Chain A
Amino acid sequence: MSTISTNSGTLPPGPDIKPKLSRDDILMRGSMMVIVLYLIVTLALPLYTMLSKSFSTYRMELSQYEFQVSDEAGNFDGTVLTGDALNRQTEVFTDTDLVTGSDGRLPVTGFFPDFSFRSPVMYQIRNTTDTGRFLVGSTLHQGTEWVELDSNTFRRVQLRPVQSRGLGNFVNYFSTPALFNSIKNSLWISVVSTIVTVTLAFWFAYALNRSCMRFKGVFRLIAMAPILVPSLLPGIALVYLFGNQGMLKELLFGASIYGPIGIVIGSVFFTFPHAFLIISTALAISDARLYEAAASLRSTPWRTFWTVTVPGARYGLISAAFVVFNLVITDFGLPKVIGGQFNVLAVDIYKQVIGQQNFEMGAVVSVVLVIPAILAFAIDRMVQSKQVALLSARSVPYQATPNPKADRLFLAYCSLIGLFIVGLLAVCQFAALIKFWPYDLSLSLKNYQFDKMDGGGWGSYFNSIRLALLTAVIGTSVVFFGAYLVEKSKGFRTGRSIFQMFAMLPMAIPGMVLGLSYIFFFNNPSNPLNGIYGTMAILVICTVTHFYTVSHLTAVTALKQMDREFESVSASLKQPTMKLFARVTVPVCLPAVLDISIYLFVNAMTTVSAVVFLYSPKTTLASIAVLNMDDAGDIAPAAAMGMMIFYTNASARIIHLIASRGILKRTQAWRSR
């Protein structure tokens, strides 16, 4: 992934010549540092805060408490026992019992084997330090005074934990089967979904690139549709198709859609376009001479397929597999809707944080989830860097030859996939228009009265559009400018490689993890940036950061196509670089700029995972509303809102298409002579 051209010549090294920094260089390096700083504040620091949170534990410090027990007459003989000593005598609590959460409580009557709430024995308890805390009923006692209680009140004493640091949360996590089972579940559904999706997408891409079947354009459009909806939507469609009142329930032969089956089907739907795009690119280019050679060697088509086609596309296949794996394992919306009792890591984070307010355990699960995500990402990057150009100057582009039988087969196959994608969307739209499934099948717009439901009503829809527009505008500017700086500035290798590293990092961080780390970092009163918590600004920042990497790579690719000579020419003409950037670079790269902005817009409309922790009552979002309405059991309105997102994104794409045609005609005229 190195972008730095190395001059490994054979000449002996000459003396180091350091060119003087011009004002432009300083400006560019300064700006680069500003963007690096942005990524540090919005990515590195929050992640660090989260990591440290996962080591923050709560422990019962028994040595902090002292007890006295009276005789039957209520007289104390002055013997003072610490909680620690009592526990060693009685062995009521093991060490793991003493590790707890911030709301942990520990009853103490177990320390006194002959305790009875009816006995006239009196008890005294006190903290030995100022940090000690205990409850009598619901009343908190701090400070080191002795508190005298009768037996019946003493049974209401509960000790409270103190904060400490350690691996306690991780120990707790791995000793709770309910939690660590999720690792297995997550890996299992991710692997199955990956195999299914990549296989299906491969044949789909193969049909589109290597056959002469008809309607290729239509299929290409359909294949991209799932990108326009939140990942929850296929889940909702599956409920209507295969739920207990489902239209096609019989097809499952009694199996429940709520669980791994539903997650895998839904995952295939929402990851399909990603896999298709990558594999399609890999299959688009191939050298016809290899096929000619295979044919002249009398290789069977089957053999040619395995020795020429698949090896040619292997990097695309591997890359697609890891991208799909990463998408499935980090996705939260789909298993939330259709997962039933099948626990996965991403949903566990949500359950721990929103359901139980156990932020420490949420941080632990996040750390666990980051590991496979980073691994998948790293392997993908390694594979990609090995990819070499298949097409050399002497290659002859492969052209498919008509084969009526095969073409018909491919058409049937693609129609099935197309039906699957369009079908799920159509089911959602249909469900949204039904008054009360399955008892009242009349059509109505009742489910569009979002203001009567949870989730923030129509306001959240408009909030989402605002978020998407802001993200597109701000994100594109920051990302493209950053990519320009890193690509075109001279020297300053360390700075540039640090920048590259930071720009790649967001892709490896699951949305849930990013969102949670933002809570820890920004919702801290001592953080000077605390003010943006709960505002639209934090949502924009989070979304830009979340989708930074792909945008950055798009920009870098476009910029690489521009010769560095432009910079030299502008320098020799004594023009400031910023002028060159505004007058030449941006107009030339306009197609990429538009692509980045539509990418950010669509993702901002559909994203759930990161923002689910960050929205406030004033900044509810449409995608979150889908989640919350489904959560509250309003499934049809959830489908209606999901389809609103689809139509919005589809319109945005169309506008983008028309706009880019118009703009490109004016700015890209130089490309044709």
Chain B
Amino acid sequence: MKHTTSFLAALAVGALTATVAASETELTVYTAVEAEDLARYAETFNQSNPDIKINWVRDSTGIITAKLLAERDNPQADVVWGLAATSLLLLKSEGMLEPYAPVGVEELDVKFVDGDNPPAWVGMDAWVASVCYNTVEAEKAGLTPPTSWKDLADPMYKDQVIMPNPNSSGTGFLDVSSWLQMFGEEGGWEYMDALHENIARYTHSGSKPCKLAAAGEIPIGISFAFRGAKSKADGAPLEIIVPSEGVGWDMEATAIVAGTANLEAAQKLVDFSVTKEANEMYNTGYAVVAYPGIAKPVEHFPEGLLDAMIDNDFEFAANNRAAILKEWQSRYDGKSEAK
């Protein structure tokens, strides 16, 4: 009998909390932001918007993109907060994003805002390509540090370079798309032909080349700046080189999913995502954020990185992605195992 009472009490409490919960809005937010950052992001958001509860769905960029595309006809997400801009462009081209100009969007660096008016997405922060250079191993191999991308194609670096496979790695793809943009289509492929001669192997993930360079498995790893800074902080004998021609980059961005039942709350979240406060929050992990002038330097970050970021044509990257990858695969993936 006692059990029944307590059970009923528990039911009642459950029902009560359920009604309380119903009075606040719940948002389903898809993200590729690192798991350890999510709690902090939600907490900061709830300080100004206590009545909106965020339910995170987190996975890596490729998986989240695929999930969103798979749910094309029956969207489950209300907001996407923290996904690569090239992925959001794919979603936009499927008509899956609800254009919205958040309050204060004009404060952001224009590079970080979708070109349409109202914009379909707004940027948060950028991850930038860089070259991780292991000074100890390079000296053993008698190498001099490269200063530009073209340098890396020098026969001196034969089998001394590792880069991510653009077919699987977002970082690898932004390298390839930036070379095609900087050197032109023909020049870009010519450059990669030459670089391919120096590549020891292509990795699945974008951070691995830098970690391999940090561990001395290879003198030079093409990766991204944030990863290099982290390994350097761990004590690896690394130098982070920003090639002089400019570096490719992609950004994490925010967008509202078309067809959301909680449009108002979703807009509040996007409003928050462009505030100075939010950008300061992004700054703990990323040296480059959308809000100009507030970013504090991240330790071990290379100088001049921000100026080296190319004027990235995301539309080019998104629309030519399939064709570029096919071409890349036929040129380098099939040929490489012949060694």
Contact = CB atoms under 8 A, between A and B. Distances in A.
Nearest to A243: B217
Interface stretch (A133-141, A191-199, A558-566): A133-141
A245 B217 contact: yes
A603 B209 CA distance: 32
B221 to A, nearest CB: 9
B167 to A, nearest CB: 5
Contacts of A135: 93, 319
A138 B99 CA distance: 13
Interface string A232-265: 0000000100011100000000001011000000
B89 interface: yes
Interface string B157-171: 000000001011100
Interface in A249-292: 256, 258-259
Contact of B333 (A139, A343, A438, A634): A343
B207 interface: yes
Given A245-B217, A357-B65, A633-B211, A440 B235 contact: yes
B330 A138 contact: no
A631 B200 CA distance: 16
B322 A105 contact: yes
Nearest to A440: B235
A177 B334 CA distance: 6
Interface stretch (A96-104, A116-124, A540-548): A96-104
Contacts of A356: 62, 167-168, 325
B186 interface: no
A102 B202 CA distance: 25
Interface centre among A156, A336, A436, A634 (most CB of B within 10 A): A436
Given A135-B319, A156-B315, A178 B330 contact: yes
A176 B329 contact: yes
A472 interface: no
Contact of A617 (B58, B168, B234): B58
A214 B81 CA distance: 65
Contacts of B334: 176-179, 181
A354 B62 contact: yes
B52 interface: no
Nearest to B97: A138
B215 interface: yes
A354 B211 contact: no
Interface in A331-368: 336, 340-343, 351, 354-357
A635 interface: yes
Contact of A633 (B89, B93, B205): B205
B36 to A, nearest CB: 8
A9 interface: no
A351 B337 contact: no
A176 to B, nearest CB: 7
B218 interface: yes
A245 B216 contact: yes
Interface residues of B, number: 59
Interface in A427-471: 436-440
B307 interface: no
B208 interface: yes
Given A351-B204, A357-B66, A103 B321 contact: yes
B50 interface: no
B136 interface: yes
A76 to B, nearest CB: 27
A178 B328 CA distance: 10
Given A341-B339, A357-B66, A438 B207 contact: no
A239 B201 CA distance: 14
A229 to B, nearest CB: 21
A139 B95 CA distance: 7
B35 to A, nearest CB: 7
A185 interface: yes
A663 B90 CA distance: 61
Interface residues of A, number: 50
A439 B235 contact: yes
Interface in B198-244: 200-205, 207-212, 214-218, 234-237
Contact of B237 (A343, A439, A634): A439
B218 A244 contact: yes
B94 interface: yes
Contacts of B90: 103
Interface string A77-107: 0000000000000000000000011111100
A103 B319 CA distance: 9
A139 B92 contact: yes
A142 B95 CA distance: 10
Contacts of A635: 211, 215
B319 A185 contact: no
A351 B217 contact: no
B26 interface: no
Contact of A438 (B205, B216, B315, B336): B216
A525 interface: yes
A351 B62 contact: no
A158 interface: yes
Nearest to A245: B216
B323 interface: yes
Contact of A436 (B203, B234, B329, B333): B234
Given A341-B202, A355-B167, A438-B215, A158 B319 contact: yes
A380 B201 CA distance: 37
Interface centre among B63, B200, B319, B330 (most CB of A within 10 A): B319
Contact of A340 (B59, B89, B201, B216): B201
Nearest to B160: A244
Contacts of B209: 633
Contacts of A336: 204
> Shortest 10 CB-CB distances between A and B: which pairs?
A633-B211, A355-B168, A178-B334, A178-B333, A633-B208, A177-B334, A341-B336, A357-B66, A140-B95, A340-B201
8 contacts: A138-B315, A139-B116, A244-B217, A355-B204, A356-B168, A436-B235, A440-B235, A633-B207
Given A341-B339, A351-B167, 13 more contacts: A138-B318, A140-B92, A140-B94, A156-B315, A156-B319, A177-B330, A178-B329, A341-B337, A351-B165, A357-B62, A357-B69, A617-B59, A633-B215
Interface of B: 35, 58-59, 62-63, 65-66, 69-70, 74, 89-90, 92-95, 116, 120, 136, 165, 167-169, 200-205, 207-212, 214-218, 234-237, 315, 318-323, 325, 329-330, 333-334, 336-337, 339
Interface of A: 100-105, 135, 137-140, 142, 156, 158, 176-179, 181, 185, 239, 243-245, 256, 258-259, 336, 340-343, 351, 354-357, 436-440, 523, 525, 617, 631-635
